[in-house]
Amino acid sequence: MYTVAVTRDFIANHYLVGGDWGSENHPHAHHYVAEVSIEAEHLDQHGYLVDIVAIEAALDAIVNGFKDQMLNDQPEFAGLNPSIEHFSRILCEKLFAAIAPPGTGTLHLKLWENSTCWAAYRLAY
């Protein structure tokens, strides 16, 4: 299996809803790190899983849409608690739609909320 990976960091704000999570129920910022990896058995005619420049451009565009924003106010989070789990899925699905990797494989997005905590979403295609 081949793997290609890209990371991006950004700051976004949120507050948790639907439970009593202390200070997490109040608006606050996280310095997120999105760690993307694509894994597949076959390369394209250029020897790529997906052109890394295309991955970087798509991830930059997606991250910039959330950068310095209140996640609770974003349409992607309508009706959802803006948890790191939901956020990792949203980012993963947006990236998949943007790069449309060929063939079959796995797109994995790990979203770090701080230096010790992360959630991930894996999309098989």
Q: Report pLDDT digits (tens) over 22-36.
A: 999 999 999 999 999
Q: What angle do CA 47, 107, 12 make, to 5 degrees?
A: 120
The residues near 90 (Cβ < 8 Å, ≥ 6 apart) are 76, 77
**Are 88 and 121 a contacting pair, CB within 8 Å?**
yes
pTM of the model: 0.96
**Are 77 and 16 a contacting pair, CB within 8 Å?**
no
- Of 81, 70, 91, give the one whose Cα is nearest residue 13: 70
Q: What are the pLDDT digits (tens) for 81-121?
A: 999 999 999 999 999 999 999 899 999 999 999 999 999 99
Structure tokens at 17: 């809803």
Question: Residue 107's beta-bridge partner residues?
Answer: 38, 123
